[in-house]
A and B are shown apart, each in its own frame.
Chain A
Amino acid sequence: MKAFLILEDGTVFEGTSIGSTREVVSEIVFNTSMTGYLEVLTDPSYAGQAVCMTYPLIGNYGITPDMESGKPWPDGFIVRELSRIPSNFRCEGTIQDFLVEHDIPGIAGIDTRALTKILREKGTMNGMITTNENYNFDEIAPKLKAYVTGDVVSKVTCSEKKVLPGNGKKVALLDFGAKKNIAKSLNDRGCEVTIFPAHTKAEDILKTNPDGIMLSNGPGDPKDCGPIIEEIKKLYNSDTPIFAICLGHQLMALANGADTHKMKYGHRGGNHPVKDLETGRVYISSQNHGYVVDTDKLDPKVATPAFVNVNDGTNEGLKYTGKNIFTVQFHPEACPGPQDSGYLFDRFIKMMGGEQ
């Protein structure tokens, strides 16, 4: 069946429908990872967005157990070509069936590079995936303009507390849409990880006397998380060691007077170099963010940059002055992407007084 991707600027791509045939409006973003489409699909940070994979051959190894959450989150999936058959010893099914099963619409067979170039030139924009051949752009345009991702954190966070047992440090993980591998990375290091829903009150978390608090990644505009930011301020004041990733990093910054802004087209992929300003070492990181912390308004008495993106100089991490708090914009938990910065979890264990 034919499908169409209609962008806010009027560009239309014609391709083939994959997954659900349901019509969807969303924010269109691209990811440059060459492997890890399943991790991308199941990363809750993509809630409220439709993802275009720039690598043209997707689905080669099918669906494996490598899921970062219980289900796929993007509103839509955009690819050049879906493999006709998957081949991998752990393959449990095809991506085609997976999308249908989870009612995710998508489009294949379009010039994903041309789409990427549009998003790069004009910035991330909204779009619609539809199978309706008789679409009328004038009717669609207002819908596209009106679309906002909104409070997607509430949609993706867990509904109740969950504990992953461990013999080491006790970590409270605040789930804004956490990828599984964050908890696993801590759990693998012996930590007992308690996962809390995003809207848990600071007092309720602190009551459990955690050795450290982990603020997770998550979707959407950090400024849409007002109430959460208020709770994070309390966590900041608690003197509990805190490590934060991605959205967690942005929320901690907002909680401390910094600002964030939307990037032109964000960083999504597994090849971004980030420099540890303390050591000068450069690590290749996994990234997925559309917003970034402005460091110019940051008071050095509150926090100083700890990591910077080598390519565009944007902030990639903060160290909070006089505090046991450390936050990064990128994804040390990888999945998908390079594992080079996994050592940051060890650093967090140390911050909690543990040995690793």
Chain B
Amino acid sequence: MPKRSDIKKVMVIGSGPIVIGQAAEFDYAGTQACRSLKEEGMEVCLVNSNPATIMTDKEIADQVYIEPLTVDVLKQIIIKEKPDSLLPTLGGQAGLNLGMELAESGFLAEQGVKLIGTTAETIFRAEDRQAFKDTMEKLGEPVAASLVVNTVEDGIKFTNTIGYPVVLRPAYTLGGSGGGIAHNEAELVEILTNGLRLSRVHEVLVERCIAGWKEIEYEVMRDAAGNCITVCNMENIDPVGVHTGDSIVVAPSQTLGDKEYQMLRTSALRIIDELGITGGCNVQYALHPESFEYCVIEVNPRVSRSSALASKATGYPIAKVAAKIALGYTLDEIPNAITKKTFASFEPMLDYCVVKIPRLPFDKFITAQRKLTTQMKATGEVMSICNNFEGALMKAIRSLEQHVDSLMSYDFCDMTDEELAEALEVVDDRRIYCIAEALRRGVSYEKIHDITQIDIWFIDKIKILVEMEQRLANEELTVELLKEAKRIEFPDNVIAELNGKLTEEQVRKMRYDNGIIAAYKMVDTCAAEFDAMTPYYYSVYGSENEAAETKDRKKVLVLGSGPIRIGQGVEFDYCSVHATWAFAKEGWETVIVNNNPETVSTDFDIADKLYFEPLTNEDVESIVNLEKPDGAIVQFGGQTAIKLTEHLMKIGVPILGTKAEDVDAAEDRELFDKILEQTQIPRAAGGTVFTAEEAKAVANRLGYPVLVRPSYVLGGQGMQIAFNDEEIEKFMDIINQIAQDHPILVDKYLQGKEIEVDAICDGENILIPGIMEHIERTGIHSGDSISVYPAHTISQDIKDKIVDYTERLAKALHVLGMINIQFIAMDGEVYVIEVNPRSSRTVPYISKVTGIPIVDLAAKAILGHKITDMGYKPGLQPEADYIAIKMPVFSFEKLRGAEISLGPEMKSTGECLGIAKTFEEALYKAFLGAGVILPKHKQMIITVKDKDKPEALEVAKRFEKLGYKIYATRSTAKYLQDGGVDALRVNKITQESPNVMDLILGHKIDLVIDTPTQGHGDKTRDGFLIRRNAIETGINCITAMDTAVALATSLESATTEYTLVDVATI
């Protein structure tokens, strides 16, 4: 069937800010799909509130609206842009829900807009719990005994008939939000109450618990003619019970025979056919490990995290094909872009094994519960490819960048056997390491299987790795042993460590001397059956290399940013991709190395060559040996890439742009102090330390409070404000849990206005696209602050100083390319907080709102072009006519036990933008985009520390005027009452009911303003409990007075008529 002729202009909905459960995979899918639509001559109108995405670039869509993803906003955009079609399947659950609401309300029909890619009925039958159950029953496809309930009582009644444990799944939520497994009535009541509240339709499915069954997924495609194919199946190593986003996943399935494989494949195709899906779909199964019994767990009628993984695992571009199907093409008409010989109707065949490991944020949230459940907690993931499972697992482990490089990286040596057996029961991110330890101690496969329910096949593979550890530790390192260790991807440093006599360098030399080097194989969708055209590679040992040697053009190695984590998100992928494109435009051959399956940078057609590999010194060295690049570019890949600089230089790869020694000068305290002295720029006084004793000495010299932080980190990891010696000891202890290669910094904490700039330096001149200021005072990490462009509250004098300082610093550090500087403005003076001679988190946002292609210009500057030649006047660029506000977005509700109060360590997972003609409207839109949709019940709680009380009073007055009823704890209430606010006093948690907790749990509160008292982390404190419970019951919780003021401003100017800004026209 050829392309439909009635589709000319398509509106695509993105997934909004990155949150746990909905991450960069939708930027990847959305970008690919938009490019696919444009390829077909479509006019594409894109709406996504997330500025840190490639899909919101003007190169990707014709009209770009970085606006809040609400029904009202979408309606206004539809009226303005008049698309003839709406494609809602690319924006994750958020996009799907919006498309559904627009269709159900009749608005789309009224406006003559077709829903393409799916129908409202399909979405309903796949997403609505009861409709889904009915559909499965009609097909005779088994589902676990379950009932949709709307009340806790019904849930209890049903569970009593099927027995505990039961799984609870709220309808229409993402990442399993609010779900869980209940083992008894108390747990049932707790989870169910919460789930009902979080569900858009107030529905929760109570289901027979099939925990322990194998969890298998199929990615299937169907076109409008009814042709169906499977792209890939995947097996979760962690059995049912752990969210697939938090499971270690292998593709293809390893423990299924053809009977099981085809049984589930046929079932998946029947389901997609019955639902009438046109595009991609994910079907999840639970398969009984001892029989052919299975249950359909769920169906996602859209692209998803799993489809991104399946695309990268097979080379089959699901989103691209789905977009073409939406336009009317059939699978046999769409050519396979990888082979250029086969068609999209050819099922991919793998001749390798893929392992995905989630990146969990417990290094950031040390108080959060590590336990993995049906509610997803991972912020990102890594994928690796090898021709054996052991090697793929080893490569994935070291791709995580969590100080892990083997199965010995978490040490369980100190545990007794009994403790270890107990530890095995715990389902958390350390379980595979725990299994390895059990195997080292000779615990039987059967026992480990009984406890973990993990298939014996996987346990045996872990045992093979453990046996190799033991051989490397006990035997002489022969060439044969080395070959075998490399075949299963033991890194050289681990081999050296186990050997004990050889250094890593000696191991590497032994390898090179004996020709034991990595070979690269191609991901070609067809197991080598056809000669593929796409250079997408993975490494193996002991095989023939097939990566083509190329040397006709200058070649650049672009180092990606690895898994998405808090502090290093999709922004850096944006920068890597743009840098790649910029170099390509300059005629360079581009080679990308990255290991994140969710991103645009690892799409097969971004660079000339893609190496899907860990970003470690050794793995990158192997690629360098083969590719011999003319230079590497590290300034766009966040800390992941920066960390590789030293080794790249050692092996003779020129670093393009700012030199490594200058990067060091910015990070190294002493060197940087010299730079500041030389440039005469003031900064907060401070010192460098290694021990708690030294830290206390410095702190006492400077006077508390002080800022404590490790060097060379991103997202302020481990950064804290200490108010006394005791806290210094605690923070130093936490920082030093990981061996520090660099000293720890202790600085006087200055509280002022925080200002940030990104600039490009061509060696002579600088270009500053704009100055951003933060709403929150210093002390809150810049990534967690509300950022306003252009800075509108600072004087011209301060602006001039900032421009001057930026220029001085860029020159003193010999910056070539990007630099990011954070300043404090206090009492008319400007201080430097930190300088990062690299691309930053704010680059995509500021690029979009100023219309200046920052990464492109920086790449050109690196290649020797001058700012003046690129058509720009050096210095600060004229301010835009718009106010653009970047709002942080958090995922605290997913992380039980995590401290939510903001501080110097970054905690947000994503961001959204509010852009408008006025500050107030921009702010309102930014809050709206972040999901702060107020007012609802017009009731709030204020409980603040003494220092904040005067400001709290002003805020309270404003909220009172907005019609809010204000509750406050004792001392806050008194202060507010004395100031003339009609505040109602409530009891503290420890006091009798009704107390503040009853209020929170009563679901009638819109907002909690709770500024934490000094010191952090005590989980029994009132403040912590109030904040946690507020978050877990879906209440907006603000922990900084500046944020509260901003929210008041935003609500005072609330509007339903928005000025819509097409960012593509800026």
Binding site for B on A (CB under 8 A): 30, 32-36, 38-39, 54-57, 60-61, 64, 66, 80-81, 83-90, 111-114, 116-117, 120-121, 269-273, 275, 280-284, 310-311, 334-340
Contact = CB atoms under 8 A, between A and B. Distances in A.
18 contacts: A32-B349, A55-B350, A60-B255, A61-B257, A87-B255, A113-B527, A117-B528, A117-B546, A120-B528, A270-B349, A273-B343, A282-B225, A282-B345, A310-B342, A311-B343, A311-B530, A337-B262, A339-B262
A89 B368 CA distance: 38
A32 B257 contact: no
Nearest to A36: B258
Interface string B496-537: 000000000000000000000000010000111111000000
B346 interface: yes
B345 A273 contact: yes
B457 interface: yes
A30 B529 CA distance: 9
B351 A90 contact: no
Contacts of A30: 529
B349 A54 contact: yes
A120 B256 contact: no
Interface in B256-286: 256-259, 261-262, 265-266, 269
Nearest to A84: B460
A87 B530 CA distance: 32
B853 interface: no
Given A271-B346, A275-B332, A284-B229, A113 B258 contact: no
B801 to A, nearest CB: 61
- Give the 10 A-B CB pairs with smallest separation, nearest first: A36-B258, A271-B347, A87-B457, A273-B345, A54-B527, A336-B258, A35-B258, A116-B528, A32-B527, A282-B227
A118 B389 CA distance: 25
Contacts of A36: 257-258, 261
A282 B330 contact: yes
Q: Name which of B342, B347, B350, B544 has the most chain A CB atoms within 10 A of its CB.
A: B347
Given A54-B349, A89-B290, A61 B255 contact: yes
Contact of A57 (B256, B389, B527): B389
Nearest to A283: B227
B861 interface: no
A88 B350 contact: no
Nearest to A336: B258
Interface string B659-682: 000000000000000000000000
Interface in B326-383: 330-332, 341-343, 345-353
Nearest to A115: B528
A334 B262 contact: yes
Given A66-B259, A120-B529, A60 B254 contact: yes
A258 to B, nearest CB: 25
The majority secondary structure among interface residues of chain B is: loop
Interface in B277-303: 289-291
A60 B254 CA distance: 7
Contacts of A80: 387-388
A198 to B, nearest CB: 27
B455 interface: yes
Given A57-B389, A89-B290, A35 B229 contact: no
A310 B343 CA distance: 7
Contacts of B455: 87
Contacts of B144: none
Nearest to B531: A120
Contacts of B347: 270-271, 273, 284, 338
Given A273-B229, A311-B346, 16 more contacts: A30-B529, A33-B349, A34-B349, A55-B527, A89-B289, A113-B521, A120-B528, A120-B530, A120-B531, A270-B349, A281-B227, A282-B331, A282-B332, A284-B228, A338-B266, A338-B347
Nearest to A116: B528
Q: Name which of B256, B262, B350 has the most chain A CB atoms within 10 A of its CB.
A: B262
B543 interface: yes
B456 A57 contact: no
B226 interface: yes
Contacts of A64: 257, 259
B464 interface: yes
Contacts of A56: 351-353, 387-388
Interface string B211-249: 000000000000001111110000000000000000000
B163 to A, nearest CB: 24
A28 B358 CA distance: 41
B330 to A, nearest CB: 7
Contacts of B254: 57, 60
A90 B256 CA distance: 11
Given A87-B456, A310-B332, A311-B343, A111 B388 contact: no
Given A34-B350, A57-B388, A114-B544, A340 B269 contact: yes
Contacts of B330: 280, 282
Given A32-B526, A310-B332, A311-B342, A84 B229 contact: no
A87 B445 CA distance: 11
Contacts of B332: 273, 275, 282, 310
Contacts of A81: 387-388
Contacts of A84: 460, 464
A240 to B, nearest CB: 31
Contacts of A66: 257-259
A351 B677 CA distance: 93
Given A35-B258, A60-B457, A66-B259, A271 B348 contact: yes
A159 B354 CA distance: 46
A112 B521 CA distance: 12
A334 B255 CA distance: 20
Contact of A90 (B257, B262, B542): B257
A81 B351 CA distance: 12
A311 B257 contact: no
A56 B542 CA distance: 13
A338 B227 CA distance: 14
A335 B544 CA distance: 32
B406 to A, nearest CB: 20
B95 interface: no
A281 B526 CA distance: 22
Given A55-B527, A113-B351, A39 B225 contact: no
Nearest to A85: B460
Interface in B116-138: none
Contacts of A336: 258, 262
B560 interface: no
A85 B256 contact: no
Contacts of B229: 273, 284
Nearest to B529: A32
Contact of B258 (A310, A311, A335): A335
B252 interface: yes
Contacts of A88: 255, 257
B965 to A, nearest CB: 61
Contacts of B226: 281
Contact of B527 (A89, A116, A273, A338): A116
Nearest to A280: B225
A88 to B, nearest CB: 6
Q: Name which of A36, A66, A112, A113 has the most chain B CB atoms within 10 A of its CB.
A: A113
Nearest to B455: A87
Contacts of A275: 332
Contacts of A34: 252, 261, 349-350
Nearest to A34: B252
Nearest to A114: B544
Contacts of A270: 347, 349
A68 to B, nearest CB: 11
Contacts of A33: 258, 349
B266 A339 contact: yes
A321 B425 CA distance: 67
A338 B528 contact: no
Contacts of B353: 56-57
A111 B353 CA distance: 14
